[in-house]
């Protein structure tokens, strides 16, 4: 029986890599599928992973009707058995409803990949609908880590090293390493997200590089009070 599965996690935890692997494995067994994405960092109509792999994909626009898409494919003699849907947090809730209908009425597997929450910890509308409708939620096994060493569970938006909590929900960007004058993201544990303590801020408080990436709370020094 077909399933709607939502693979989620923070940014940079391997979702797009897994999406490419799943497409590869299904294709290798002769199954026919479609790969879709929306606002990938690498540009339009491409699904890219930070491991260096990428492939062509259909760009999901607000106008796209997934139901019409699979019906069209079938009527043109290209029946679909699975859909890979990356950056699904950006899909409209009604598009997620269409995906659920495709699973139930066409017996097509839908594998969706995306972050659940934005930089303010609010659910993206597409992710909220996926959580409401999915047969299964899968949290990725590879843990992205906060600078302190704990598992990263939240996405921070960072401008000039400082975490911001106001702005548009959707701003396409990457985790640190690019041009620091533009918006970038950093994954943090909840504690440091709530304290707005990015790696930059932590370094300013504790400039000795030997103290990073270890969190003093996790690895206290004798006689020293935790700072972060
Ligand atoms: N140079 C590298 N060597 C090994 N693994 C890497 C390298 N660069 C990135 N990765 C892995 O790729 C993951 C990010 O994969 P990606 O599919 O782009 O993430 P997501 O789609 O969740 O944002 C990182 O968590 C890391 O495990
Ligand atoms: C937290 C957050 C992220 N985004 C954007 C940034 C990236 O372009 C994608 C996530 O991609 P990834 O493959 O999971 O790294 O989402 C955003 O627009 N708004 C946010 O709050």
Q: Is the pLDDT of residue 211 over 60?
A: no
pLDDT in tens, 61-87: 999 999 999 999 999 999 999 999 999
Please name the residue whose Cα sits nearest to atom 15 of ligand 2. 11
| Alpha-carbon distances of 73 from 8, 32, 65, rounded to whole Å | 28, 11, 13
Q: Which of 115, 139, 163 is the last residue of a domain?
A: 139
State mean pLDDT over 188-200: 96
Q: Is the pLDDT of residue 182 over 90?
A: no
Q: How far apart are CA 29 and CA 99, in angstroms?
A: 23
| Domain identity same for 24 and 124 | yes
pLDDT in tens, 95-111: 999 999 999 999 999 99
Give the mutation target among 51, 88, 113, 178 for probing the ligand 1 site: most ligand atoms within 8 A of CB: 51
Quote the pLDDT of residue 180.
Answer: 56
Q: How far apart are CA 23 and CA 28, in angstroms?
A: 8
Instruction: Categorize the per-residue pLDDT at 220 as very low, low, confident or very high, splitting at 50, 70 and 90.
Output: very low
Quote the pLDDT of residue 105.
Answer: 97
What is the share, in percent, of the chain residues with pLDDT greater than 70? 88
Instruction: Categorize the per-residue pLDDT at 224 as very low, low, confident or very high, splitting at 50, 70 and 90.
Output: very low
**175 forms bridges with which residues in the sheet?**
185
pLDDT in tens, 18-27: 999 999 999 9
Quote the pLDDT of residue 221.
Answer: 43
Q: How far apart are CA 184 and CA 174, in angstroms?
A: 6
| Domain identity same for 111 and 176 | no
Quote the pLDDT of residue 222.
Answer: 44
Residue numbers annotated as active site? 87
C-alpha 68 – ligand 2 centre gap (Å)? 28
**5 forms bridges with which residues in the sheet?**
111, 136
Q: What is the pTM of this model?
A: 0.92
| Domain identity same for 121 and 45 | yes
| Domain identity same for 94 and 165 | no
Token pair belonging to 11 = 């940014």
State mean pLDDT over 115-132: 98
Q: Is the pLDDT of residue 225 over 80?
A: no
- Whether residue 95 is contained in a domain is answered as yes
| Domain identity same for 49 and 105 | yes
Q: Which of 139, 162, 192 is the last residue of a domain?
A: 139
41 pocket-lining for ligand 1 (C-beta < 6 Å): no
12 pocket-lining for ligand 1 (C-beta < 6 Å): yes
Quote the pLDDT of residue 176.
Answer: 80
Quote the pLDDT of residue 205.
Answer: 86
| Residues of the domain holding 163 | 154-208
* Angle (nearest 5°) at CA 131 between 184 and 117: 20
| Mean pLDDT, rounded, of the chain | 91
Mention every residue, 6+ apart, whose C-beta is less than 8 A from residue 63.
none
C-alpha 42 – ligand 2 centre gap (Å)? 12
Q: Is the pLDDT of residue 210 over 70?
A: no
Q: Which of 84, 98, 109, 138 is nearest to 4 (CA)?
A: 109
| Domain identity same for 162 and 57 | no
């Amino acid at each position: 029986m077909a399933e709607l599965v939502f693979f989620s996690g923070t940014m940079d935890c391997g979702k797009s890599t897994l999406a490419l692997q799943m497409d590869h494995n299904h294709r290798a067994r002769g199954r026919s599928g479609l790969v879709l994405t929306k606002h990938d960092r690498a540009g339009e109509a491409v699904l890219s992973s930070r491991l260096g792999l990428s492939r062509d994909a259909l760009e999901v626009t607000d106008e796209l009707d997934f139901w019409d898409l699979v019906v069209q494919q079938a009527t043109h003699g290209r029946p679909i058995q699975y859909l890979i849907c990356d950056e699904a947090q950006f899909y409209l809730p009604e598009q997620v409803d269409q995906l659920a209908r495709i699973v139930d009425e066409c017996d097509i597997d839908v594998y969706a990949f995306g972050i659940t929450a934005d930089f303010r910890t609010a659910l993206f509308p597409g992710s909220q609908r996926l959580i409401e409708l999915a047969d299964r939620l899968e949290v990725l096994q590879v843990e992205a880590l906060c600078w302190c060493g704990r598992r990263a569970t939240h996405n921070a938006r960072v401008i000039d090293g400082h975490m911001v909590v106001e702005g548009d929900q959707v701003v396409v960007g990457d985790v640190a390493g690019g041009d620091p004058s533009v918006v970038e993201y950093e994954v943090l544990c909840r504690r440091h997200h709530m304290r707005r303590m990015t790696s930059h801020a932590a370094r300013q408080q504790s400039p000795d590089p030997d103290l990073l990436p270890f969190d003093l709370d996790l690895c206290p020094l004798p006689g020293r009070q935790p700072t972060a």
